[in-house]
Structures are given as C-alpha cells and as structure tokens.
C-alpha cells in the first residue's frame, strides 16, 4: 500500500512539473481586443467571419497558385504595396502568404478589407513596423492603437498582425470595422449559402479553382448608378465567379443572377451592346492594347446569364500593376 501511495505521489509530482514546463495549462493563444479575448485558432479557422458585413464583393484567392503563375511577380508587388516593410521584417509574400480573402464596401466611400493567411514571423513583423519611421517609398508609417492592438497605416492603407497565421489589411475604415467584430463579439461567418458554395466549397476545399468572387447587388445605389455605363448591371442581384491560372493566363467562368428570365435576357443584351463593348475597347486602347479585349462568351439559363472568358498574362500583369500603383503610398 505504501509503495502504491509513493508511486501515486510521484505521478502527480511529475504531472505538476510537466504543467509548469509547458505553461501550466492547455490554454490556447488568444488575441485581446478591447478587453475581449478571442482564440487565435478561431480567427485562423474562419477568415470570412473577420470580414465586416454588407460587402458588395467578397473574394477568396489561393495565393500560392497565383505566385506560381506567370503573374506571380506582379502579385507579390501588390502585397508588398499594402504591407510596406523592409527586409528586416523577414516578410516574403511568395513564401509567407498562402491565401487572401477580401471584400469591397461602400461604408464611407470605396472601402476594402482583406485577410492574409499563411505562416508569418510575427515578432519580426511587429519589430520592423515599430522601428520603421518611413516606408521604402519614403512615406511615414503611422502607428495607431485601436481596440488594444497596433494598427499601422500609410496613406490610409495598412495592416494589423493578429496571429502567426492571420494578418488583417485594408483601408483604415475597413480594418476598424473588422476589429470591431472581434471586439464586440460579432465574430461569425454570415456568408449566405450560395456564397459559401462558391468561396468555401469551390475554392477553399477544392483544387479545381484558384479564386472565387461573389457579389450581392440588389438595392445597391452605387451599382444602380453605374448601370448607365454598364447596362448588364441593371436589375443584377448576384454575381458568382470561379477561375484558375492555367494557360493563357487566367480562365474565368461565372453567372449573373437576375429577378427573372426577362431580366436575364436584358442582362445578356447589355453585355453585347456596342456601347458597352466600345467602353471596354476604349479602356484597353487607352492602356496601349490597341483596342484588344478578352472575348466574352455568354449563355442564357433561366434567370441567369452564364459567362466565360480567358485573359492573357500580359493583360493580367497590366491590371495588377495598376492596382499596385493605386495602393502604393503617396507622399
């Protein structure tokens, strides 16, 4: 009996020592915002729950597939433009960023928010951000404490390091609304079922598509205002898009959803209108493409218009370069 008690005490002593050595608990890392604790694992597991609601467009991108494509160099420059840190941060987009989930809004203008997921050296990132008075472009990097975390912005675009696997980025309004979701306990995925099929089943859990985009347009004043220049937007309710980075550059398929078949017929006609095509042709000609533009194939399917197109690498690189220029910090 005495021997059994001794063994029992030794077992409990060993367990206590093990607990002390491992942090004395199985508690998972947490992110604290405004006094509220949120599990880092929970944030990493559901990036769409981090994005604010009422988005006009939401997209998901397999960044590794993009980086491996012929447009990977321009994509890396785009990521570097929204995380303007030097080499001391040990941040390499093509190595560290695995997926990007983002959304566009009309909160206080044209706002956006994105979630970068991958493997990040958070200590190096934070140290580089704290020490960097100027970005590589010579523009000051401004630190703001919001909800108890460090937000770094330059020209109203910035980032927040949340966990070892998740970085929040966007313009200041978009990031603040995302942090509020964590701060006030509104961290939940509210994607409608049809959007989940595209973004989660079609992209996250499948190797058939490298990116997906969904949009809800019904009742959006900004969308209605654009319908004069883009007739297919008239009466448009939902957009679904899937694509990959196979030859010749990017392949896209999708659908435009309307209230009824008559609306879809009008949408298809809107896509084919000479005025609409001339608008895009003029756009491409202005950029030095001699009026060339991707060919769009369309087909009516009840109250939807199915479409497909292929975009060459040159055009994709041009568009990504324009986006990187637009987000680059200005003096």
Per-residue pLDDT reduced to its tens digit, 217-254: 988 888 878 887 788 889 999 999 999 998 888 999 99
Average pLDDT in the chain: 81
Residue 279 has what pLDDT?
52
Q: Which residues contact 37 (CB under 8 A, 6 or more apart)?
A: 30, 31
Return the SS3 of 23. Answer: coil
The yes-or-no verdict on residue 187 having pLDDT over 90 is no
Rounded to an integer, what is the distance from CA 19 to the centroid of its chain? Answer: 39
Interval 258-267 mean pLDDT:
94
Q: Is residue 56 part of a domain?
A: yes
| Exposed/middle/buried for residue 221 (C-beta within 10 Å: 0-12, 13-18, 19+) | exposed
The yes-or-no verdict on residue 190 having pLDDT over 80 is yes
Q: Is residue 20 part of a domain?
A: no
| Exposed/middle/buried for residue 198 (C-beta within 10 Å: 0-12, 13-18, 19+) | buried
Looking at per-residue pLDDT, the higher value among 82 and 177 belongs to 177
Residue 290 has what pLDDT?
45
Residue 27 has what pLDDT?
47
The yes-or-no verdict on residue 131 having pLDDT over 90 is no
pLDDT > 70: percent of the chain: 80
Interval 255-263 mean pLDDT:
95
Specify the DSSP element, H or E, that contains 206: none
- Counting other chains too, the contacts that 75-81 makes at CB distance below 8 Å and 24 or more residues apart are 75/320, 77/320, 77/321, 77/324, 78/320, 78/323, 78/324, 78/327, 79/116, 81/324, 81/327, 81/328, 81/329
Residue 308 has what pLDDT?
94
Interval 43-61 mean pLDDT:
92
Looking at per-residue pLDDT, the higher value among 312 and 274 belongs to 312
Residue 314 has what pLDDT?
80
Q: Is residue 7 part of a domain?
A: no
Q: How many domains does the chain have?
A: 1
Q: Is residue 62 part of a domain?
A: yes
Tell me which residue of 261, 253, 198, 264 sits closest to 231, measured CA to CA: 264
Residue 291 has what pLDDT?
43
Q: Is residue 14 part of a domain?
A: no
Q: What does the alpha-carbon distance between residue 62 and residue 172 come to, in Å, rounded to a whole number?
A: 25
Q: Which residues contact 245 (CB under 8 A, 6 or more apart)?
A: 65, 66, 68, 69, 70, 71, 210, 251
Q: Is residue 19 part of a domain?
A: no
Output the CA–CA distances (angstroms, integers) from residue 264 to 214, 260, 301, in the order listed.
17, 6, 8
Residue 137 has what pLDDT?
62
Cβ atoms of 108 and 156 within 8 Å: the answer is: no
Per-residue pLDDT reduced to its tens digit, 132-185: 755 656 677 888 999 888 999 888 888 999 999 999 999 999 999 999 988 888
Interval 98-117 mean pLDDT:
90
Residue 24 has what pLDDT?
42
Output the CA–CA distances (angstroms, integers) from residue 254 to 58, 119, 203, 238, in the order listed.
14, 31, 14, 11
Q: Is residue 18 part of a domain?
A: no
* Domain of 217, in residue numbers: 30-327
Residue 59 has what pLDDT?
95
Q: Is residue 166 part of a domain?
A: yes
Lowest-pLDDT range, 20-24, 167-171, 305-309, 325-329? 20-24
Q: What does the alpha-carbon distance between residue 323 and residue 104 come to, in Å, rounded to a whole number?
A: 14
Angle at the Cα of 250 from the Cα atoms of 312 and 193, rounded to 5 degrees: 155
Residue 38 has what pLDDT?
84
CA dihedral 89, 94, 98, 100 (to 10 degrees): 90
């Amino acid at each position: 009996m005495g021997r059994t008690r001794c063994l029992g005490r030794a077992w409990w002593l060993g367990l206590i020592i093990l607990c002390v050595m491992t942090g004395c608990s199985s508690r998972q890392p947490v992110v604290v915002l405004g006094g509220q604790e949120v599990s880092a694992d929970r944030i990493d597991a559901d990036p769409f729950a981090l994005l604010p609601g009422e988005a006009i467009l939401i997209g998901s991108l397999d960044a590794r597939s993009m980086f491996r494509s012929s447009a990977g160099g321009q994509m890396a420059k785009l990521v570097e433009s929204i995380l303007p840190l030097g080499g001391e941060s040990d941040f390499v987009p093509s190595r560290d960023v695995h997926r990007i989930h983002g959304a566009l809004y009309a909160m206080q203008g044209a706002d956006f928010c994105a979630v970068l997921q991958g493997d990040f050296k958070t200590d190096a990132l934070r140290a580089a951000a704290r020490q960097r008075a100027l970005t590589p472009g010579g523009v000051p990097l401004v630190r703001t404490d919001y909800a108890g975390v460090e937000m770094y912005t330059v020209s109203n675009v910035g980032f927040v390091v949340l966990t070892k696997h998740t970085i929040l980025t966007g313009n200041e309004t978009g990031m603040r609304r995302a942090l509020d979701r964590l701060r006030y306990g509104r961290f939940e995925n509210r994607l409608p079922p049809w959007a989940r099929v595209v973004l989660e089943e079609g992209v996250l859990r499948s190797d058939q598509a490298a990116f997906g985009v969904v949009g809800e347009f019904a009742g959006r004043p900004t969308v209605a205002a654009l319908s004069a220049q883009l007739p297919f937007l008239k009466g448009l309710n939902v957009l679904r898009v899937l694509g990959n980075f196979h030859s010749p550059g990017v392949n896209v398929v999708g659908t435009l959803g309307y209230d009824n078949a008559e609306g879809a017929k009008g949408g298809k006609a809107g896509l084919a209108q000479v005025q609409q095509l001339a608008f895009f042709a003029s756009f491409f000609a202005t950029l030095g493409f001699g009026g060339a533009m991707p060919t769009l194939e369309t087909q009516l399917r009840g109250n939807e218009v199915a479409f497909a197109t292929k975009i060459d690498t040159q055009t994709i690189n041009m568009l990504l370069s324009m986006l990187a220029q637009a987000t680059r910090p200005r003096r």
